Amino acid sequence: MKRPRSLPVQIFLALLAGVAVGLLCFFLPGGGDFAAGYLKPFGDIFVNLLKFIVVPVVLFSMIQGILSMEDMRKVGSVGLKTVLYFLCTTAIACTVGLAMGSIFDRAGLFPVLDAADTDYEIAAFGGFMTTLVGIFPSNMWQAFTNANMLQVIVIALFFGGAILTAGEKGRLCHEIVFSFYAVIEKLMTFIIRLSPIGVFAYMAWVVATQGAQVLGSLALVLLCAYIAYVVHAVLVYSSAARVFGKLRPFTFFRKAIPAMIFGFTSASSAATLPVSKECAEDMGADPDVSSFVLPLGATINMDGTAIYQCVATVFLASCAGIDLTLRQMVLVVITATLASVGTAGVSGAGMIMLAMVLEAIQIPVAYIGLIIAVDRLFDMGRTCLNVVGDISCAVCVSRWEGRKQP
Residues of this chain that interact with ligand ASP (CB under 6 A) are 267-269, 302, 305, 343, 345-350, 379, 382-383, 386
Smallest distance from ligand ASP to CB 165, Å: 33
The smaller minimum CB distance to ligand ASP, of residues 69 and 273, is found at: 273
Q: Please state the closest distance from residue 379 (CB atom) to ligand ASP, in A.
A: 5
In the bound state with ligand ASP, the residue whose beta carbon lies nearer, of 277 and 382, is 382
CB of 386 to ligand ASP, least distance (A): 4
Which residue in the shown chain puts its C-beta closest to ligand ASP? 350
Cα distances from 257 to residues 95, 219, 276, 387, 388, in angstroms, run 26, 25, 10, 10, 9
Q: Please state the closest distance from residue 385 (CB atom) to ligand ASP, in A.
A: 9
Q: Which lies closer to ligand ASP via its Cβ, residue 62 or residue 344?
A: 344
Q: How many residues does the chain have?
A: 406
Q: How far apart are CA 326 and CA 256, in angstroms?
A: 36
Residue-wise over 126-156: b if at least 16 C-beta within 10 A, else e? eeeeeeeeeeebeeeeebbeebbbbbbbbbb
**Least separation, in Å, of the C-beta of 346 and ligand ASP?**
5
Nearer to ligand ASP, 48 or 139 (CB): 48
- Least separation, in Å, of the C-beta of 272 and ligand ASP? 8
One-letter amino acid of 157:
L
Q: Which 8-state DSSP code applies to residue 121?
A: P
User: Buried (b) or exposed (e) across 84-116, using 16+ Cβ within 10 A?
Assistant: ebbeebbbbbbbbbbbbbbebbeeeebeebebe
d(CA 84, CA 88): 6
Instruction: Confirm if 33 and 181 have CB atoms less than 8 A apart.
Output: no
- Residue with Cβ nearer ligand ASP (305 or 313): 305
3-class state of residue 120 by DSSP? coil
Nearer to ligand ASP, 94 or 302 (CB): 302
Q: Provide the minimum distance between the beta carbon of 72 and ligand ASP in the complex, in angstroms, as a whole number.
A: 29
- What is the rounded distance in angstroms from the CA atom of residue 85 to the CA atom of residue 79? 10
Residues 293/69, Cβ–Cβ less than 8 Å: no
If the CB atoms of residues 54 and 163 are measured against ligand ASP, the closer one turns out to be: 54
Rounded least distance, CB 88 to ligand ASP, Å: 19
Q: Supply the DSSP symbol for 156.
A: H
DSSP-derived 3-state class of residue 362: coil
Closest CB to ligand ASP among residues 68, 313: 313
